[in-house]
Amino acid sequence: MAAAAEGAAGSGGRSPSSARRRLRIISGHLRGSPRAPEQAALSPSPCKAQEGSAEPACGSIPKKRQELLKWNGWGYNDSKFIFNKKGQAEFTGKRYRLGGMILPTFKEWIEKTFGASLEHKTTSRASLNINDVPPSIVNEEFLQDLRATKISYSQDAEDRVFRAHGHCLHEIFVLREGMFKRIPDIVVWPVCHEDVVKIVELACKHNLCIIPFGGGTSVSSALECPEEEKRTIVSLDTSQMNRILWIDEKNLTACVEAGIVGQDLEKQLAESGFCTGHEPDSMEFSSLGGWVATRASGMKKNIYGNIEDLVIHIKMVTPRGIVEKNCQVPRMSTGPDIHHFIMGSEGILGVVTEVTIKIRPVPEYQKYGSVVFPNFERGVACLREVAKQRCAPASIRLVDNAQFQFGHALKPQVASIFTSFLDGLKKFYITKFKGFDPNILCVATLLFEGDREKVLHHEKQVYDIATKFGGLAAGEDNGQRGYMLTFVIAYLRDLGLDYYVIGESFETSVPWDRVLDLCRNVKERIVRECKEKGVQFAPLSTCRVTQTYDAGACVYFYFAFNYRGISDPIHVYEQIERAAREEILANGGSLSHHHGVGKLRKRWMKESISDVGLGMLRSVKEYVDPNNIFGNKNLL
């Protein structure tokens, strides 16, 4: 244990003497002499936090998350779907374009789809009961050492509960109905890399358990505390490590602290005319470190790439020391890439503190679009051809008919009679004149970005391909609305829970030749399992193709059902989800495309990466963290 702490205090694979030697060489070049005297050499400077001057950037999410975010649901306190006094659905708040708008057909859709009724409403706790929260158990000697570092910490019940969970259905259900049996005992807020080193040193010294916390958007049970953990559990909240440390305009890279959330990263880069283009659906709240830890993917990956394509350099603190490469170059041939030990490690090896990522100039032109296809099969064939010709726009997503109907139910009330007339005309043209069956057709939404001339050429190329598969251009407005819904759709689960409807999403990646079979078989399996498990009303079982590759695609499923009459709805839901995952694997799909494994899906890890592969991962864990300081029990 002492050796591990000692290693963390150093610089991992790089000794202080080698760092000083390199600085002397650089100093010599700067002075014009290859043999600069040692006293004139450059010297490393300490983290400003050690001098008391490091201040986190002013981020969108406050340190006290409860000031802005829901304690038992998704997103901002002031943003939610409700049924107003007239029984109409609307979305509150002013943060989103849908805010304040009436959704005239949503009530009818939810009643028809789930058999739900506004007369049957559940009761959940209105506020957190502090008396239900497990007490904080922290070693006094550790507290004394922690105070000496001047690192901010809290043992407040609300702070601890906010960091005890992610956003899996069962986690939110527990918050609404009861309380977790085990939560963090203390929350710490480092403000720089050196603070993290100190925290890991103390954890090694006092034999504590650390669970890193970024944006809290996990949907794999990754943040849940193991109930059997007897040691003090420290939630290491990286949110105050949220600065862009530097931007290199020549190499188009930026070094960023890992706690920054997606919306702040893009805002700060935009001030200098740059962007990353990495936009997962959770980008408002998820963090850069979280993206690295889960191997995240964004909706615009066709242009900008997934997180593994964006990362140039990673710095991570482990109990054994600091892991990082000695240079920031586009590619290295130095054995297996250590970044790929870190990416997807889900907090079991250490804490990612700094990441150097690729950046690009903010695109000068952006254009939305949409295409309606006569059926899902034609739509998938079109996406396959677009991928084959390597002309995919920044984002192209295909929704099946059930999800199309779902999106249509979220369409706001039209203020203009003329607009209503045009909508009716489009519907007539597509369904009557062109003969598309409204109960079978599906829609693809498109987003193009870049140089205006190239975007327009690109747009024509994609629409020409779509025409060959029977696709009809359906306008920019439908495309833009589809992407706008991306950021509000997660709020719907909270409304559903108020009316006995539970729902969840899950994803996979699959080869092109198995996309259709997998989508059909998984949806049918969900319906069959619901019936067998005593669900009285037919479930919603729907999917969309969200990311495309040369050799396959990512498929994203939604499923939900009315749980009235079921005594243990979460147990039933988990049985159904497990069956759906078994079906995915049986049909050649992956365990996860971008959500990660966590504790929720780790039962299938051996099947996914082989017994030997799992053993390799265990060996890395045992070497880097022999005392299981990072004991969240994800993956293994």
Please give the angle made by the CA atoms of 366, 469 and 484, to the nearest 5 degrees: 30
Cβ contact 386:392 at 8 Å: yes
Residue with tokens 């979280």: 290
Residue 582 exposed, middle or buried by CB count within 10 Å (0-12, 13-18, 19+): middle
Whole-angstrom distance, CA of residue 534 vs CA of residue 124: 24
Amino acid in the structure at residue 334: T
623 belongs to the catalytic site: no
Active-site position among 76, 96, 556, 563: 556
Q: Is 153 helix (H, G, I), strand (E, B) or coil?
A: strand
Bin 262: left if φ > 0, else alpha if -120 < ψ < 50, else beta: alpha
Q: Is the dihedral of CA 558, 559, 560, 563 positive or negative?
A: negative
Helix axes 169-177, 569-586, angle to 10 degrees: 180
Cβ contact 328:296 at 8 Å: no
Q: Is the dihedral of CA 137, 142, 143, 144 positive or negative?
A: positive
CA distances from 5 to 49, 208, 265, 390 (A): 20, 12, 32, 49
Residue 544 exposed, middle or buried by CB count within 10 Å (0-12, 13-18, 19+): buried
Cβ contact 192:252 at 8 Å: no
Cβ neighbours, 10 Å, residue 457 = 12
Residue 464 exposed, middle or buried by CB count within 10 Å (0-12, 13-18, 19+): exposed
CA distances from 36 to 16, 20, 202 (A): 19, 13, 39
> DSSP E strands: which ranges in 329-390?
351-358, 360-361, 365-373
Cβ contact 353:378 at 8 Å: no
Whole-angstrom distance, CA of residue 410 vs CA of residue 487: 13
Cβ contact 552:510 at 8 Å: yes
Residue with tokens 């002499």: 33
Residue with tokens 């300490």: 46
Whole-angstrom distance, CA of residue 430 vs CA of residue 432: 6
Cβ contact 603:621 at 8 Å: no
186-189/233-237 β-pairing: parallel
Whole-angstrom distance, CA of residue 442 vs CA of residue 460: 20
Closest CA to 144 of 136, 153, 135: 153
Phi/psi of residue 336, nearest 5 degrees: -55, 140
Closest CA to 445 of 392, 506, 491, 488: 392
Whole-angstrom distance, CA of residue 326 vs CA of residue 322: 12
Please give the angle made by the CA atoms of 216, 219 and 92, to the nearest 5 degrees: 70
Give the catalytic positions in this structure. Answer: 556
